């Protein structure tokens, strides 16, 4: 199934540190401390419409970082 608003997504960046980030996509707000990201933020835009296992490119500051979607709930 494809990622949509309301889903909780876990991604793993594919660069040297392999950081994992988990967040819930919201249509109302961004609240970083609670792991909530507005759907218009770059990380949400990168995963919306993608599926578990897909590789995506996330804009982080001025860098584009490759990542893989590990899970969607």
* DSSP per residue, 10-37: EEEE-STT--EEEEEEESS--BGGGTEE
Which pLDDT does position 16 carry in this prediction? 84
Closest of 9, 4, 42, 11 to residue 23, by C-alpha: 9
| Residue range 13-49, pLDDT digits in tens | 998 889 999 999 999 999 999 999 999 999 999 999 9
Q: pTM, whole model, 2 decimals?
A: 0.94
């Amino acid at each position: 199934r494809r990622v949509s608003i309301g889903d909780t997504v876990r991604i793993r960046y594919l660069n040297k540190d392999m950081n994992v980030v988990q967040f819930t996509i919201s249509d109302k707000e961004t609240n970083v401390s609670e792991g909530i990201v507005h759907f218009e933020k770059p990380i949400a835009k990168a995963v919306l419409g993608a599926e578990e296992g897909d590789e995506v490119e996330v804009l982080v500051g001025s860098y584009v970082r490759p990542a893989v979607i590990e899970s969607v709930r």
